[in-house]
Amino acid sequence: MMKTNIAITLTALIASAPMLATAHERMPIPTPLHSSTFTPQWEMPEQCKDPLAEKYIAGLQSGKYTLANIPSDDTIPSNKQYWLTFDDSGKNVVECKDGDIKNSPANYCWKELSDSPSVIGIVAMGKTDHAPHFHAEHECYYIASGKTETLADGQMMSIEKGQYFYINDYAIHNIPNLNKEDLTIFYWYPGIANWSKFKYYWKDDVKNHMPAEAAFDKVDEIRKAAWGFGPYGTVDMK
């Protein structure tokens, strides 16, 4: 298994999708919340209501959709309508057959399901860390399988199969898989299309912006208190 920790919730996709780099470089760095102000719950939050996302979730719940057969719609290019992962080098994107992490050197696979009218996707991951990050778009999770902890309301809180989680816009989020059991996260950005226009911020992106750095430092403190983890990139979860 590759030792490199892999970032979740679309972090990996940045390696395989174009970004509007020049325009983004001119954008001022926003000041994030150090966590979502919401917590995991058993009912879908009102902010997460989305017809297509709800259809996918119903299919996952009923067994109609599995990792092997969950389909992308025609807003996703044909060359991306399958599960992806990284190769042994951690630099090249390759196919992850059937979304089975046994077929992933990175222990992490993802699939894009829709790009409009809402960006929708799904992630399957083994035991691995996740890079804290934020973006201007609000985001929702549904846990399709597994159990772990996630950054919520200023602390690490348990989240498990069947639960939903709403993440405010500009809120740092962090959801490593702490267990050997596979974790499957269905994610969507309600009412927000065109993932290529999104801008993600990691700790390295906010250097010399003291309020944003302080928010990421707070996340490091929360991770340390909850799990004994150091900053992202320093933890070997093999």
Q: Residues in the chain with pLDDT < 50?
A: 1-24
Q: Report yes or no on 211 lying in a domain.
A: yes
Residue 131 within a domain:
yes
Give the domain CATH number at 220.
2.60.120.10
Q: Which amino acid is at 120?
A: I
Residue 174 lies in a domain: yes
pLDDT of residue 238: 67
The reply to whether 238 falls in a domain is: no
**DSSP state at residue 51:** H
Give the range of the structural domain holding residue 203, as residue numbers without chain letter: 12-227
- Looking at residue 15, what is its pLDDT? 38
Residue 47 and residue 190 in contact, taking contact as beta carbons nearer than 8 Å: yes
3 is a domain residue: no
In a domain, 237, yes or no: no
The reported pTM is 0.88
Task: For residue 5, tell me if it sits in a domain.
Answer: no
d(CA 93, CA 18): 14
Tens digit of each residue's pLDDT (9 = 90 or more) over 98-117: 999 999 988 999 999 999 99
Q: Where are the alpha helices (DSSP H) in the chain?
A: 21-26, 51-62, 210-227
3-state SS of 73-136 is CCCCCHHHCCCEEECCCCCCEEECHHHCHHHCCCCEEEEEEECCCCEEEEEEECCECCCCEEEC
Domain count, the chain: 1
